[in-house]
Structures are given as C-alpha cells and as structure tokens.
C-alpha cells in the first residue's frame, strides 16, 4: 500500500512538472531574450541588415507625415520588415517600403505600422501571419523552419523597438 502511494505521488509530480514545462513553452507573454528550446547547433539565418540611420532614408518622414517622425528616429518596424522581405528575395529597402506604405495607408495616425499592409508589398511571396504576444514555441518553431521573426522589445528607457530575430545559439536569440 505504501509503495502504491509512492508510485502515485511520483506520477503526480511528473505530470505537474510536464504541465509546467508545457505552459512555459507555449504561454504567450513578455519573454526574456534567453530561453525556449535549447538549440544544440547554432542557427543563423542570412538576414540582411538595414540601418535606420542610413543617410539614404534616415530623414524620410514615416508615412510622409513629419509629425510621425523619420525612418532614422522611429522607423525600426519599417527597417525590420524590409530586412525580412529582402531575406525572402524581395528587392526592397526601408525607403521603398515606406513609400509603398504611405500610398496604401500603411500607418496609423500615430505613425505605427499596419503589419498586414506591409505584406501587401509582395502578396504572392509574403503574408501577415501573427501579431500578438510571443511564445518561445512560436519563435523557436519559426527559426527551426528557416523563418526570421520580427519582435517588439522594450528598452530600459521604456521605449519600444522592433528587431529581427535571425537565429539562435543554445538558449540565446541572435538579433539584428
């Protein structure tokens, strides 16, 4: 009888631990830049890098509206989207994407990017799939399938910034 309770207790502990791991893996929330599934082999996608501050486009107003700021100051989402498009072989840079988005109403009144409209740039090649809180499972799954991931991070100053996760080494995400 005592042995039976010991086995049942052990199974309950194992089930609770498995449930905790599953919840941590799939729970959509603010994430640490370290975590998720361990990548035994470094995955590094060849995502090209565009600098917001490139003199070619840094002074261009987002959405053609001066009050929205410039690509150089606030255009991290546009630059990140252009980087991912270029990764998939779509010839575009942040300036061209900004011009396109300006013409299709691709920005909110505050200058935030409508992500679904960015996908309109190459509708047969890319699509808007997900826009919500992230999970390690979602990020790791995309990286494992060769897809870079655009994420919003909050800097210590409280300002948000969009970056491209272009790989992973162990538990560490590689960001551009």
* Pairwise pLDDT comparison (59 vs 17), residue with the higher score: 59
| Residues 166/45, Cβ–Cβ less than 8 Å | yes
pLDDT at residue 15 in the model: 72
Is the pLDDT at 175 greater than 80? The verdict is yes
Report the phi/psi class of residue 32: left, alpha or beta, with left for phi > 0 and alpha for psi in -120 to 50: beta
**How many structural domains is the chain composed of?**
1
Percentage, residues of the chain above pLDDT 70: 88
Kindly state the average pLDDT of the residues 75-90: 97
Residue 37, domain extent: 2-175
| Residues 97/54, Cβ–Cβ less than 8 Å | no
Non-local CB neighbours of 162 within 8 Å, separated by 6+ positions? 76, 77, 79, 80, 150, 151, 152, 153
pLDDT at residue 34 in the model: 67
pLDDT 10s digits, 133-151: 788 889 999 999 999 999 9
User: What mean pLDDT value characterizes the chain?
Assistant: 89
21 band by pLDDT with thresholds 50, 70 and 90: low
pLDDT 10s digits, 23-59: 665 666 566 666 788 999 999 999 999 999 999 999 9
DSSP designation for 29: S
Cα-Cα-Cα-Cα dihedral sign, residues 168, 169, 175, 176: negative
Percentage, residues of the chain above pLDDT 90: 64
């Amino acid at each position: 009888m005592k042995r039976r309770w010991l086995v049942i207790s052990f199974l309950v502990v194992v089930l609770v631990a498995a449930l905790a791991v599953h919840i941590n893996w799939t729970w959509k929330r603010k994430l640490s830049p370290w975590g998720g599934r361990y990548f035994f082999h470094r995955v590094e996608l060849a995502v090209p890098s565009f600098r917001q501050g490139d003199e070619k486009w840094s002074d261009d107003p987002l959405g053609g509206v001066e009050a929205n700021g410039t690509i150089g100051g606030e255009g991290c989402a546009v630059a990140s989207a252009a980087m991912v498009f270029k990764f998939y072989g779509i010839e575009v840079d942040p300036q061209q994407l900004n011009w396109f988005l300006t013409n299709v109403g691709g920005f909110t009144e505050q200058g935030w990017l409508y992500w679904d409209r960015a996908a309109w740039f190459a509708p047969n090649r890319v699509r808007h799939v997900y826009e919500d809180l992230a999970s390690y499972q979602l990020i790791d799954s995309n990286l494992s399938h060769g897809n870079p991931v655009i994420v919003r991070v909050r800097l210590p100053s409280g300002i948000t910034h969009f970056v491209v996760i272009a790989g992973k080494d162990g538990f560490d995400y590689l960001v551009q």
